Amino acid sequence: MRALLVVNPAATTTSVRTRDVLTHALASDLKLEVAETQYRGHARDLARQATEGGQTELVVALGGDGTVNEVVNGLLASGPDPESHPRLAVVPGGSTNVFARALGLPNDVVEATGALLDALRDGSERTIGLGLAAGTPGTEDEGVPERWFTFCAGFGFDAGVVGRVEQQRERGKRSTHALYVRQVVRQFLGEANRRRGVITLERPGDTEGAAEIVENLALAIICNTAPWSYLGNRPIYPAPDASFDTALDVFALSKLSPAAVTRYVTQLLTSTPERGPHGKHALSHHDLTNFTLHSQVPLPFQMDGDHLGLRTSVTFTGVRRALRVIV
């Protein structure tokens, strides 16, 4: 099998030794080409070239969730075609590695490499669904290109936290869970004037029904799988029913007062695969194929932990069976 190993040398837990061990292990079973990323978006370009070349059967991403996201967008640059596009394999090299862990892979790079080799020898794979986000026609974001995401997107508060973390990393800070917690607090304290709901969720109606519109939401989290993230080793489940086998789930809050935030953060920290946050200010939707989020003011937007700037409107599509993954 001809394979491409895409390595992000700047990933949090990736080292030269890690790359060399992985390369040696994979080269014993595969016709392997290795490429290191050199700029933002390079992993996407490498995966797209591998797909267009038609010879590569497998692309392995060594890095964090951002690297995986870029590789997925390269593999699906011309749209989903799981039968002809290369398979994806992931070796976690970031600080959180939500996508890899949601697939059931070990979070340790050596153990994950062993699991990958076993899966390749056994021919073990699954076809998963993905999320697709695009600028909404008829709005100022209409021309924003489509982009795939693997496990989550966020509009509003959580995307603002991601943006703050990225700023800290650019200043030399390490991406740690403590850093995220500090930025959550700072985002909350700094957004006192935006705690009222400015987000509207719009779902198209069926052939006989009118569109469903929910207004005055203060934040929205879109999940393609569960858990949504991890705090250390603790999984967080805002949408416990989200799955790679269904379309998209949405968790939203209509209030961000100190009391409401305390309540729902506590519920998130104690959430389980059977029960997520709930209450009069919480909104949950399961298995949505198509919907749009609008905002009265530009809000931060993130996908798979990558801050993408400010948006006023984003249209989401849940695409089932979009990509083959080695597991």
pLDDT in tens, 95-120: 899 999 999 999 988 899 899 999 99
- Average model confidence (pLDDT) across the chain: 92
Amino acid at 312: T
% of residues, the chain, pLDDT over 70: 97
The Cα 242–Cα 273 span in angstroms is: 10
Query: What pLDDT score does 69 carry?
Result: 98
pLDDT of 300 strictly over 90: yes
Q: From CA 195, how far away is CA 219, in angstroms rounded?
A: 9
Q: Which residues contact 240 (CB under 8 A, 6 or more apart)?
A: 226, 271, 272, 273, 274, 275, 276
Predicted pLDDT of residue 181: 82
Fold type of domain 2-123: Rossmann fold (3.40.50)
Write the CATH number of the domain with boundaries 131-321: 2.60.200.40
- Measured CA to CA, the distance from residue 314 to residue 203 in angstroms comes to 12
281 vs 12, more confident: 281
131-321 shares the fold of 2-123 = no
Averaged pLDDT, 172-199: 77
Look at residue 167 in the predicted model and tell me its pLDDT.
Answer: 85
pLDDT at site 201 = 97
- pLDDT digit string, tens, across residues 277-286: 999 999 999 9
> In the chain, where are the structural domains located?
2-123, 131-321
pTM for this predicted structure: 0.92
Binned at pLDDT 50, 70 and 90, residue 209 comes out as low
CA distance 94 to 51: 24
- pLDDT-based confidence at residue 187 (cuts at 50, 70, 90): confident
Please tell me the predicted confidence (pLDDT) of residue 193. Answer: 46
Max mean pLDDT among 20-34, 164-178, 308-322 falls in 308-322
pLDDT of 93 strictly over 50: yes
215: Cβ contacts below 8 Å, ≥ 6 apart: 197, 200
Average pLDDT over residues 54-59: 96
Tokens 């959550």 -> residue: 184
pLDDT surpassing 80 at residue 176:
no
| Least confident segment among 23-27, 138-142, 207-211, 218-222 | 207-211
SS3 308: strand
User: What percent of the chain lies above the pLDDT cut of 90?
Assistant: 72
Q: Tell me: pLDDT of 16 over 50.
A: yes
